[in-house]
Structure formats: structure tokens, C-alpha cells
Amino acid sequence: MQLVAVPLTWAGPYPPAEDEVGSHAISMDNHALISWATGYSDYIVGDNVEETWQVPGNALGEAEGNSFDVVALGSGGMLTLVFDPPIENGEGWDFAVFENSFSDRYLELAHVEVSSDGIDFVRFDAISLTPNPVPGFGNIDPTDVDGLAGKYRQGYGTPFNLEDISDKPGVLSGNVDLSSISHIRIVDVVGDGSCLDSSGEVIYDPYPTAGSAGFDLDAVGVSNGAPYPAGEYIPPELPPESDDSGFGDDTGCFVTAIQAPIRAIWLYR
């Protein structure tokens, strides 16, 4: 029997890992980053987080790019960061979210929501094409993920463009002002398949995990509009598309209450 080495290739339609052509990864040293989160509120800890990781202040200021100077959200947890001055909707990506993954494929994901008053929030659309459950130390193809924070390894942020949500009802109604975003809320995706993307499809990420479970937030950096990294990613093939109709704009996980012991209660809309 002959063993044949097969080179690793990305298969999905979305931008690949940091060191690949067409990646949208933003280095924590990128000169376009002009400010960082200045405060926080509403830290709701999810399941399986030891106290040593429950330090929301670790998400303030510049990204550290290591495995330890972070705050763990826990399975289903969330944290709202405050920005003073607020973020503006410029040309290109406006802010980047940094996680602490130790590799290009061990990815813990989170939804991203923005607000101009800390009350009314609008969520970015997100897509996950990961077809099967992912074990606690399993891998995800980053080209199967779009619109979710945590897509890149530590030291590299996932960029978000406020223009992408300009047609959302909360923006069109004036409840969320994209020229003055003062709050960003990061909501952990529970990786067991109980959370849905914007198309109503299941989102998988490593599950279960313990100690510092869920999304580990390093920082959020602001550019107020900057060009995406140069280069175009051309996938080798596109995964098959589902014929399911989906669930519309308000899909996914929403924290509604906390009970003792600490547990996030989820509502599907």
C-alpha cells in the first residue's frame, strides 16, 4: 500500500486563512486601526468558564495577540463593548474583532451586533457552511464561514463593514445610526448546532469545550473605513447549496435571561 500526501486546500467560497491569497484577515498591527474599545457593559457569562477567564476589561484597548489576555464569553455568553468616540461608516471595513485561536482552523465563532444608543442593536448577516458537528478540539474550514467573528487566528481580526447592514430595518427606521456606532455586542455561537445563521442553517464550531468555553475576545479595533487586503480568493469548488427556505432576518441565538447556575436561555426567532 502506498501513502500519498495530499496538500491542504480550502473548499468554500469565502475568504481563506491569514496567510492565503484573498484573505481578509486584519493584523493587529495594521496602521488603519486608529482606536479601540474604551469601556464595556452587559457581560453575561455563558456556561463552562472558570473565574480566571471572566475579565471583561481584557477586551479593552489594543489587541494582545496571545492566548491569555482575553475574556471568555462562555457557551452562549455575550459582552457589549463601548466606543468613545463612536465608530463611523466609512469606505471599506470599519472595525475588526480579534479572537485568540491558536491555529487557522480551530475557530470559535460569535455573532456581531452594533448600536448607536446601547439599546437598539442590529446584527450582521452570517453564513456557516460547515456540514457536520465539530468536536471540542476539531477544525473548521474558514472559507466556509462569513460574517462571524472568530474567523482568524490570534493576532488577526475579522473585519466588518457597516455598509453591509445599511438595508436592515433597524437602520432604515433610524434606530441605529451607522455614522455613530457607540456599542458593539459579541454573542457566542453555541457550537452544538442549536444556533442558526442568516439563512436558517445550523452553525457548528468546536463543542463541547471547558475552562474558557466559547468565544475568547481579545479586542475590537476601529478603522472608520479602510480597504480590504489585496488579492482575490478563487475557491477550487463551491459546496452544494441547500434548497431550504431559511428563516429570514431574525434567526440565531438571542440571550433572554440568566438563571443560577449561570446559564444562557436562548430564543429562536
Please check whether residue 238 lies inside any domain of the structure: no
Which of 20, 15, 39, 38 has the alpha carbon at shortest distance from 93? 15
- Rounded Cα–Cα distance for residues 99 and 114 (Å): 18
- Tell me the residue ranges of DSSP E strands in the chain: 26-27, 35-36, 39-44, 71-72, 78-87, 93-99, 110-115, 122-123, 127-128, 145-146, 156-160, 181-188, 192-196, 202-204, 216-226, 255-259, 263-266
Please check whether residue 158 lies inside any domain of the structure: yes
pLDDT band at residue 267 under the 50/70/90 scheme: very low
Query: What domain range includes position 70?
Result: 32-227+246-266
pLDDT in tens, 72-125: 999 999 999 999 999 999 999 999 999 999 999 999 999 999 999 999 999 999
- Residue written as cell 434548497? 243
Please check whether residue 1 lies inside any domain of the structure: no
Mean pLDDT of the chain: 89
- Rounded Cα–Cα distance for residues 22 and 15 (Å): 6
User: Quick one: 245 exposed, middle or buried, by C-beta within 10 A (0-12, 13-18, 19+)?
Assistant: exposed
> How many domains, the chain?
1
Please check whether residue 13 lies inside any domain of the structure: no
User: Residue 255: pLDDT above 80?
Assistant: no
pLDDT in tens, 191-230: 999 999 999 999 999 999 999 999 999 999 999 999 999 9
Please check whether residue 135 lies inside any domain of the structure: yes
Please check whether residue 196 lies inside any domain of the structure: yes
- CATH code (residue 131): 2.60.120.260
pTM of the model: 0.86
Please check whether residue 15 lies inside any domain of the structure: no
The pLDDT of residue 68 is 97
